[in-house]
A and B are shown apart, each in its own frame.
Chain A
Amino acid sequence: MGKEKSKSGPLARRPDNSAFKQQRLPAWTPMLTASTVLPSFYLLALICMLLGVWLLLTVQNTQEMKVDYTEAGSCNLCFEMRKNVSNAGQKCTCMIMFSIEKAFKGDVFIYYGLRNFHQNLRRYMDSRDDGQMLGRKSNLKSPSSYCKPFDVDEKGVPIAPCGAVANSMFNDSFILTYYTINGPTVVPLLRKGLTWYTDKNVKYRNPKMDNLTLPEVFEGTTRPPYWQKPVYQLDPFDPNNNGFINDDLLVWMREAAFPNFKKLYGFLYRANKPFTKGLPAGNYSVAISYNFPVQYFKGRKEVVLTTVSWFGGQNHFLPIAYLVTSGLILLTAVVLTVVWWKFGKDGKNMAD
């Protein structure tokens, strides 16, 4: 206001002569011209091609092996057995044989794969209580309503961990055996460090112990209905891998985006021979403790072994996609060049 008063005379109401108000701000005005577009197309094609080739070479060095064990071999029996809900408590083990033609070099990861299992349903994904799994006592005793109908059991005892996600946890286990000339050797697996650092250390926490043991902390809660053992006994070997920070639980709780997915089960322990360089070629068997029923939803189960490169496991799509894209860009670039050369107006014939 003061500024306006200070002005007077015939030009008092004249607008300011600022670049902004007069729309004369200095500006960069890029234009699509043949000299910028065509070279960048060729360059882009080149970059994509190089990337594609590089990725393809990298991917060639990785190996992957999938073994579907849903009803293969002796697992057929277990498959039939799991059809009946009343047999849920009974144990069933089966074994599958497979052979590796070419040695897996380097780190080898063992996954379990599920097909047609929808971890990405809206209500399924919501059916969990992150507060409970962060170790909040209040949520432990009264789980969030999102967990319904897996929040409390028939007697009203709260379930820990609550919700459909935890309840449906995958509970098959595998023992991998390598058959050497000297006889079978169990392939040593590491079952820790399977998760993101943030999951293990931030997102999931056991409730405060206050000098109590884990079972005491979880007193007053019950296990999810489909589980065989309570959450504080998930790992019989390592007491520190129990409760809400059990690796297998964490892996399961990180829901998959698509109905066909694989989750990390463990990786090869390479300290002792013959596994120091990875998995040698030869015959293997995998003994499965077959618990997880898939026949209800027409699902499949598999064991996956892979090695990884700097950008992860075996993934043919990415390099091929890059190569195809590169080809298409190159094609486009050539077409554009021809068009520009033959028919382009580019200001030349504008005077007509």
Chain B
Amino acid sequence: IQSNCIVTSKYNIITFLPVNLFEQFQEVANTYFLFLLILQLIPQISSLSWFTTIVPLALVLSITAVKDATDDYFRHKSDNQVNNRESQVLIRGSLQNEKWMNVRVGDIIKLENNQFVAADVLLLSTSEPHGLCYIETAELDGETNMKVRQSISVTAELCDPNHLASFDGEVMCEPPNNKLDRFCGTLYWREKKYPLTNQNMLLRGCVLRNTEACYGLVIFAGPDTKLMQNSGRTKFKRTSIDRLMNTLVLWIFGFLVCMGGILAVGNAIWEKEVGFLFQSFLPWDPPVDNFLFSAFLSFWSYVIILNTVVPISLYVSVEVIRLGHSYFINWDQQMFCSQCNTAAEARTTTLNEELGQVEYIFSDKTGTLTQNIMTFNKCSINGQSYGIHFCLSFRLNFTPLNPLADPNFCFYDEKLLESVKVGDPHTHEFFRLLSLCHTVMSEEKSEGELVYKAQSPDEGALVTAARNFGFVFRSRTPGTITTTEMGQTVTYSLLAILDFNNIRKRMSVIVRNPEGRIRLYCKGADTVLVERLQPCNQELISITSDHLNEYAADGLRTLALAYRDLSEEEWEAWSESHRFADKATDCREDRLAATYDKIEQEMLLLGATAIEDKLQEGVPETIALLSLANIKIWVLTGDKQETAVNIGYSCKMLTDDMTEVFIISGHTVQSVRHELRSVFFKCRFSQISCVKYTLEHQRTYILEIKKFLSTACACKAVICCRVTPLQKAQVVELIKKHKKAVTLAVGDGANDVSMIKSAHIGVGISGQEGIQAVLASDYSFAQFRFLQRLLLVHGRWSYLRMCRFLCYFFYKNFAFTMVHFWFGFFCGFSAQTVYDQFFITLYNIVYTSLPVLAMGMFDQDVPDQRSLEYPKLYEPGQLNLLFNKREFFICITQGIYTSVVLFFVPYAVLSDATQSNGVPLADYQSFAVTTATALVIVVSVQIALDTGFWTVFNHVFVWGSLGSFFTIMFALHSQTLFRNLPNQFHFVGSAQNTLLQPVVWLTIALATAICIVPVLAFRFLKLDLKPQLSDTVRKPKFSFYDPSVSALLSSQSYCITATFERRNSIFGVPTGKKIARKSYQRVQMQMGNQKKDWKENLCATCYRSFRKNVCD
């Protein structure tokens, strides 16, 4: 039997070393270096000492190992902590304390209030009536509201341990899986079958709330629990730079083999012509008997020597830089949301530079662009619309009518209150529906102090509205709902809840009122509901749908409400079929849906509600800025078209100058194709605009991919309405696949998870809807507007830094390594290195690593506010201009040029030079020291040129690296080391003898000048003839006026008003109101020129916030 012990750790003390090493050597780079190491151990080809490879390799492996070990240590710790939690297990009729890890499948355990559930258990009985219990599932799905679980009725009576001990039921259920919201099983007990659903299950990770105690039967334990099944490894994302880097590294390997081949051929020729004759001085090694074999060995020797073109430190450095950039994101105060006390978080540390290359943003609407704080704004009852926005009336005061009212609720239309007061039956029925038809839980800490816990904010808003208008939802049990209607407590018996889901788009309850009348209340999307109404009152239906359209055009979320009276017989008949469907073991969901569908017919329309979801702060500015940065923003929403379009206007996705707005909403293949074609042609001839694509038909959608893509991509803005979560992901995949562009998906809810996972970069907004999106995301923060900073500042910098880093890195290693190649032509291709072996070992990890790391960490071409002011600065990243194959070849060419200079200048000077005391300087060690010094100086000068932002770290690292080079060289050439290990440190005295010679310094200076001057000249020419925007912006006294920015500013005038108030209140500027008033006048003036309806709506929104500001 499966034990409940969980193991998330990967290693223990004994297995750590072998397993970790095995894992690390699965990396191609590490294996490659291991292979080199083995080559170096063969004496005939070992052209470098083994330590030149093993030191960096060991360093890299141990850094990774230490990181893995720390991670695993914490995993062990948390495993231990979890496994050793106490739990009460029923053993032989008595409760005993057991550790979690000793709980087995089939055990009966007792849980107490506020305890974590130890395993996936079947709820048998609880201390509460009806076998109810409440749980919080924050650890599972991030939702903080409470949920009800109920035991099946037959086991609910088993309340004390003795009875439970005799419980001998048998459970058959589905195999372990990771679906949190589904469970399907059957309990066989006393020769009867009872169906089990998710409603009867308590999952591991939940916390028991508001329930004294409960008993449960362990069904899944340990790794089988849904929590553990869900903690699977997420797909590993790679950036395009990563992929490019891997290609380049392969090319370099190819290059390496070519170089090795050329030198091996050279060796063959040399050994045949010269080496053969030279044998009296240097006989061939015993296994070598001809020049070909010698060439073969020489090939491998050169592979060893030249391997430094792909230094092992490359991958480590890249990771370090990305980690640093991730920390900068986490530390950014300007991405900290003080309202919700949430800082931005880079949850993935490997994608940073891709943030600087984003071309497409796919955004969810609700909760991402909007706040997802719902306010009951308007309603239509029996053909009469309520709810207005002007400050003709003040905020309604509900307390005299209703002591239970929520003081935070705002509504301005007193007509509605009047209507409630006079007792209009429709109005009463309307609010009764709102107080009954929902799944909200209430918590009444003290009399009259109600707190509602709703799964969706919409529901909370509706129930709160009903509460204020005198229909107060008080409490619920599985069979009853208690409300206070106009001051009187009424208890309805709850006969059935017909649940909400995305396909049904509606929910209903069937209740019996105290008088015994049975009524079905239904609320849902208007499109679904209208089909199910009694056709008798067409007039009301058309008025209400006019209202609905009006609300939707205001950007409000609408719901239609309806009811139906049921006779006792109808109820009995339906309830029988429902029971039957409920017990079905296969296709239960579908059968239930079908039964629900049967009864939700012939309903009478009550009215409609409209809920406002306010835009988040700074959304229009962010969208405008991002589209100026040439990022295409697509909004994918489940909302209806009118709502979506309206939000599109209010958040500046759609603007005035988009003269033509195309809506594609065909229902058949033919019509969609036709519409797409016509739009596409218009796109080509006129300056447009926007496509709204109603993804109603999956099949149509698939057929028209190509057309859709070409049309949509020709448009400035695309809004897809009525999309399901799966379709969201498909749209993202489509762009990924066909446009080869970097995509970013941003969302806040569980319905965005698939989109977030399939995009290159997933961003989660930690908002109202739980943390599932955040958990699936790569980056998370609290507000949509932080996206501009994430992309335009952090992403841009990361990309820039990474590109500069890679360019320089390849350059410095080519400059370093290719010197050996040139030397090969002078040393008989014998694979003699130019430098001291210690220099080769330390070059990449000590002498040149830190300055380039500092550049990769801290470099800034323009300050952050500049990159927000000039969104065009983002374009080089999208076009991938800073590091691509062309740039790579330029770097390599520069590196090879440098190596030529670094070899031939010292060669030409030193081969004939002597010291001033007559001793020749042409000895190998002097040459090695001179070249190495020149190399370190040249690459240091080069990094100094490349660094555009000299912080104290850059200074310390650049000067420190130079200093360390000289210090370490003098130390390595010192007498002490030589005396102890004469064969390793045979360079004794070279540094001081060589570097004291003026001719050596003249050589180094000459080589440096020849290396750097052309680079400087090219850079200057480029700057002078083809300056990039960043170069121009960077100029200190730059005051150039960007027309696109001014356009943005003027187009923002509407929404500026809304934000003014906040800013001023933050800074405490007393003229805040004056400014607001002025901008209001400006809005009004502009209003005069506008004709379209939507603008009035917008102004109304604007005005509302203004009025709030002034009136308060």
Contacts and interface: CB of A to CB of B under 8 A. Distances in A.
Contacts, number: 291
Contact of A13 (B343, B915, B1040): B343
Interface string B10-30: 000000000000000000000
Interface in B1022-1055: 1023-1027, 1032, 1034-1036, 1038, 1040-1041
A107 to B, nearest CB: 7
B338 to A, nearest CB: 6
Interface string B986-1028: 1011001100011100110010011001101101110111110
A25, A44, A262 — which one has the most chain B CB atoms within 10 A of its CB?
A25
A329 B1020 CA distance: 14
A198 interface: yes
A149 interface: yes
Contact of B1021 (A26, A167, A336): A336
Given A195-B919, A199-B989, A258-B911, A350 B1032 contact: yes
A181 to B, nearest CB: 30
Interface in A29-55: 29-32, 34, 37, 41, 44, 48, 51, 55
A60 to B, nearest CB: 16
B396 interface: no
Given A44-B1013, A122-B830, A325-B1013, 6 more contacts: A10-B338, A15-B330, A32-B1023, A254-B924, A254-B925, A312-B997
Interface stretch (A213-221, A279-287, A302-310): A302-310
Interface in B904-933: 905, 907-928
| Most A C-beta atoms less than 10 A away, residue of B332, B907, B920, B922 | B920
Contact of B1025 (A15, A111, A309, A344): A344
Contact of A256 (B831, B923, B1009, B1038): B923
Contacts of A120: 826-828, 830, 832, 924
Contacts of A131: 982-983
A218 B278 CA distance: 29
B93 interface: no
Contacts of A248: none
A16 B280 CA distance: 73
Q: Which of B275, B917, B918, B975 has the most CB of A within 10 A?
A: B918
Contacts of B1041: 351
A322 B908 CA distance: 13
Contacts of B342: 13
B1009 A312 contact: no
Given A15-B333, A31-B1034, A318 B948 contact: no
Nearest to A322: B1006
B950 A28 contact: yes
A101 interface: no
Interface stretch (B281-289, B769-777, B1090-1098): B281-289
A33 B948 CA distance: 13
Contact of B328 (A11, A23, A255, A322): A23
Interface string A114-125: 001011111111
A198 B832 contact: no
Interface in A218-261: 254-261
Interface in B250-288: 274-275, 277-278, 280-283, 285
B47 interface: yes
A168 interface: yes
Q: Closest 3 interchain pairs by CB? A: A198-B989, A21-B331, A257-B927
A84 to B, nearest CB: 13
B1027 A350 contact: yes
Interface of A: 10-17, 21-23, 25-32, 34, 37, 41, 44, 48, 51, 55, 107, 109, 111, 116, 118-125, 127, 129-131, 133-134, 136, 144, 146, 149, 164, 167-168, 194-199, 202-203, 254-264, 267, 293, 296-298, 306, 308-315, 317-318, 321-322, 325, 328-329, 332, 336, 339-340, 343-347, 350-351
Contacts of A136: 982
B639 to A, nearest CB: 32
B341 interface: yes
Interface residues of B, number: 101
5 contacts: A31-B1036, A134-B979, A202-B978, A310-B916, A345-B1027
Nearest to A298: B277
Given A25-B951, A339-B1024, A350-B1032, A196 B919 contact: yes
B473 interface: no
Nearest to A343: B1025
A123 B285 contact: yes
B860 interface: yes
Which of B47, B797, B1009 has the most chain A CB within a 10 Å cutoff?
B1009
A344 B282 contact: no
Contact of B918 (A308, A311, A343, A347): A308
B858 A260 contact: no
Contacts of A196: 919, 989, 993
B950 A261 contact: no
B984 to A, nearest CB: 9
Nearest to B280: A296
B588 to A, nearest CB: 44
A203 B989 CA distance: 8
Nearest to B44: A123
Contacts of A12: 341
Given A25-B952, A318-B999, A32 B332 contact: no
Contacts of A41: 1013, 1016-1017
B572 interface: no
A21 B328 contact: yes
Nearest to B1026: A345
Contacts of A13: 336, 341-343
Contacts of A309: 916
Contact of B1009 (A17, A26, A44): A44
A313 B911 CA distance: 11
Interface in B884-920: 905, 907-920
Given A44-B1009, A196-B919, A264-B920, A130 B983 contact: yes
Interface in B523-560: none
B864 interface: yes
Given A310-B998, A347-B1035, A258 B907 contact: yes
Contacts of B338: 10-11, 14
A342 B961 CA distance: 41
A141 B364 CA distance: 82
B331 A315 contact: no
Contacts of A339: 1021, 1024-1025
A124 B917 CA distance: 28
B909 A127 contact: no
A257 B336 CA distance: 61
Interface in B497-523: none
A128 to B, nearest CB: 8
Nearest to A133: B982
A198 B952 contact: no
B278 A257 contact: no
Contacts of A111: 920
A164 B282 contact: yes
A340 B1024 CA distance: 6
Contacts of B909: 315, 317-318, 321
Contacts of A325: 1006, 1009-1010, 1013
A144 B920 contact: no
Contact of B858 (A23, A312, A343): A23
B949 interface: yes
A125 to B, nearest CB: 6
B946 to A, nearest CB: 11
B301 interface: yes
Nearest to B328: A23
A116 to B, nearest CB: 7
B667 to A, nearest CB: 49
A16 B333 CA distance: 7
Contacts of A310: 916, 998
Interface string B810-850: 00000000000000001110111000000000000000000
